[in-house]
Structure 1
Amino acid sequence: MRFRKLNYFITVAEELHFGRAAARLHIAQPPLSQQIKAIEDELGAVLFERSSQKVSLTPAGEALLPQARALLQNWEKIQEQVRSVANGTAGNLSLGFVWAAGTPHFSKGIAQFKQDNHGVTLNLEEMTTAHALDALRTEKIDLAMIFLNPLMDITDLEHQEYEIQKHLLALPDNHPLAQKDSVPLSDLHQLPFISFTRQAHPSLYDQIMHSLHAAGVEPNIVQIARLTQTTRTLVAAGVGVALVPESTQFDQREGLTYRPIDGVLPELAIHFVWRKNSLTPLMERLITHLHAQVLR
């Protein structure tokens, strides 16, 4: 039975008059009567008692009325939900992001997006680049914000630039180099160095090491840290110095100083990345929204 027929039945049941029901439905009375008869034939039950004086619901009609209303209401909700998902204003989206992406404009953008889109459920998880790529390829997340560079093999994925960051040198407040306005790259030679794992961001790690070696710097790696937060804690504790994304400076911590570096280091290109042919309207809306926050 089509939903239009149910609407015909409900309208007649509410008006208890075929003429008024037909006028309300903007159709002629004979076709309406035919549609009601077709419903009765399909159900094998008489729904209305008809006489020259009045129209009334039979017990079968009374039983059908609340069910018909519920069906139509559910169908309207389904249509609304489908339209919302189709235009990107509803649905679920899982986003894996590197810590460096979590700048103030990222935090503000996520908060504003959630406030403006109550029908959207965002699942956010901090990840390394390697972890996020694996999660994308195994369909554990929908979208990633990670470090990308031309050396990476991502032919199975699509991407769009989010922002470019530079490296800063993170130092303990009492470190001699903290007295400088900027630190020459060559000054890092043999300094106790805290590094992220190569497994976390393989291509970026190799680029950094290549740049250091090209400048005659042999880093004295004394500690490996998987997360930037751990790196900052270790630097503040005086364990060593570290190269960190410039967004790190937005999250102030006692005992830490950040200085620009004079020398050639790879840029940190953060991109939105997703599986080929998987970009949904919701993903497009989030990407556009977050990218707009960077441009402000």
Structure 2
Amino acid sequence: MIDRVRALLTVIEEGSVNRAAVRLRITQPALSRQMKLLESEVGGKLLERETSGVKPTGLGHTLVKVMRPVIDSYEAALAEVRRQARGSGSELRVGFLISAAQSILTPAMERLRKDHPEIRLKLHDMSPKEQIDALKSGGLDLALIGQEGAVAARDFHSLKLCSLGVCVALSNGDPLACRKKISIRELAGRDFIGVDEDQMPGRNRWITSLCRTAGFKPRFIATTDGITHVLSMVASESAVTLLPDYFKTTSHPGITFVPVSDARARWDFIVLWQRGKTTACTTALVEALKEAALKISGSPLPP
């Protein structure tokens, strides 16, 4: 229908079906058929003939008034999509975990501003689940996500930026809080705090897998909606949880972060982006993220 509406606008601008057909590079009978189909779709006459040509009826005027903004919006959106397809789009909508921003996203943005000042980022602090949903709905172009991104990797382009160590979050008064390192095996029998799987899909399974590798199954006494609440419960309940080790550089009231000594305990940092042709802007941001990730991980990932 939108093509027929655009054809109607051309007919009205030209005041003639013949001149409009020439402008549209179609035959006059074909254009006349389009106008009849459009009148059938809207349920009324849109054009009336005069000796000097054609003019819109009252219904035609109404259709033009209502549909012109729609056509303009459609054309602008289509132009933006085409720019993105050519790799010339200059804006990226990026989802991220606030806890990860300082370690990877912030330095990546500094590199991007230096090398590609034309690229604009619209940043959205979102939980992993919100990021995945926004990618699926088209609300994000790229998501900087953690281990949880693995569950959605098959639906998008994905890249493991780096593999980080793991730390234990303990209350300040915990006997293990004074240690320089802790083996996960030493947490057997301890109470764990988990996170709502709706917000961080796969996070509790990741903790469970690490504990099983160490020879025990973790006992989750509670799950809550977000890392901040998890840490508050760790402090109040004298419980524990496992986190990526970039948390060592953060602070939370009543909490001590101690690295784990298990060499196989790792947490993957993943970036996801929309399938299809990868734009130049997306490539530039992914490269900047890889460079920032290399600095915190210390070694490149295998190709």
Given the two structures, how large is their TM-score scaled by the length of structure 2? Answer: 0.60
Q: Is the 8 A contact 1:184 1:263 kept in 2?
A: yes
More divergent stretch after superposition (200-209 vs 182-191): 200-209
Change (3 A) 1:88 1:111: farther
Q: Is the 8 A contact 2:111 2:288 kept in 1?
A: no
In structure 2, C-alpha distance between the alignment counterparts of 1:114 and 1:108, rounded to whole Å:
10
SS in 2 for 1:198: coil
SS in 1 for 2:216: coil
Q: Is the 8 A contact 1:91 1:121 kept in 2?
A: yes
In structure 1, C-alpha distance between the alignment counterparts of 2:97 and 2:221, rounded to whole Å:
23
- 1:197-236 → structure 2 map (5 Å cutoff): 197-236=196-235
Q: Quick check: 1:164 aligned with 2:183?
A: no
What residue number does 2:193 align with? 194
Change (3 A) 1:238 1:89: farther
- Cα deviation 1:68-119 (Å, max 9, x = unaligned): xxxxxxxxxxxxx99x979978622111123453243432332453466554
Q: Displacement, 1:277? A: 0.9
What residue number does 1:136 align with? 135
In structure 1, C-alpha distance between the alignment counterparts of 2:237 and 2:205, rounded to whole Å:
25
Report the number of matched residues.
216
What residue number does 1:96 align with? 95
Q: Is the 8 A contact 1:171 1:256 kept in 2?
A: yes
Q: Is the 8 A contact 2:191 2:221 kept in 1?
A: yes
Q: Displacement, 1:281? A: 0.9
Q: Is the 8 A contact 1:161 1:272 kept in 2?
A: yes
In structure 2, C-alpha distance between the alignment counterparts of 1:203 and 1:261, rounded to whole Å:
20
SS in 1 for 2:230: helix
What residue number does 1:15 align with? none
In structure 2, C-alpha distance between the alignment counterparts of 1:89 and 1:275, rounded to whole Å:
16
Q: Displacement, 1:254? A: 4.3
SS in 1 for 2:158: strand
In structure 2, C-alpha distance between the alignment counterparts of 1:180 and 1:128, rounded to whole Å:
31
In structure 1, C-alpha distance between the alignment counterparts of 2:205 and 2:276, rounded to whole Å:
30
Q: Displacement, 1:273? A: 1.0
Q: Cα RMSD between the aligned structures?
A: 3.3
Q: Displacement, 1:164? A: 1.2
In structure 1, C-alpha distance between the alignment counterparts of 2:115 and 2:149, rounded to whole Å:
35
- Name structure 2 gaps, 5 residues minimum: 1-79, 296-303
- 1:64-83 → structure 2 map (5 Å cutoff): none
1:185 alignment partner AA: I
SS in 1 for 2:260: strand
SS in 2 for 1:169: strand
- 1:43-82 → structure 2 map (5 Å cutoff): none
What residue number does 1:279 align with? 278
What residue number does 2:70 align with? none
Q: Displacement, 1:279? A: 1.8
In structure 2, C-alpha distance between the alignment counterparts of 1:236 and 1:99, rounded to whole Å:
21
In structure 1, C-alpha distance between the alignment counterparts of 2:220 and 2:148, rounded to whole Å:
24
More divergent stretch after superposition (268-277 vs 198-207): 198-207
- Cα deviation 1:14-47 (Å, max 9, x = unaligned): xxxxxxxxxxxxxxxxxxxxxxxxxxxxxxxxxx
What residue number does 2:125 align with? 126
Q: Displacement, 1:128? A: 3.1
2:226 alignment partner AA: L
Q: Is the 8 A contact 1:168 1:258 kept in 2?
A: yes
SS in 2 for 1:202: coil
Q: Displacement, 1:144? A: 0.9
- Cα deviation 1:114-133 (Å, max 9, x = unaligned): 46655433121233333322
SS in 2 for 1:133: helix
Q: Displacement, 1:227? A: 2.1
Q: Displacement, 1:151? A: 6.8
2:188 alignment partner AA: H
SS in 2 for 1:273: strand
In structure 1, C-alpha distance between the alignment counterparts of 2:111 and 2:149, rounded to whole Å:
32
In structure 2, C-alpha distance between the alignment counterparts of 1:85 and 1:276, rounded to whole Å:
12
Q: Displacement, 1:155? A: 2.9
Q: Is the 8 A contact 2:113 2:119 kept in 1?
A: yes
What residue number does 2:45 align with? none
Change (3 A) 1:151 1:255: closer
Q: Is the 8 A contact 1:90 1:117 kept in 2?
A: no
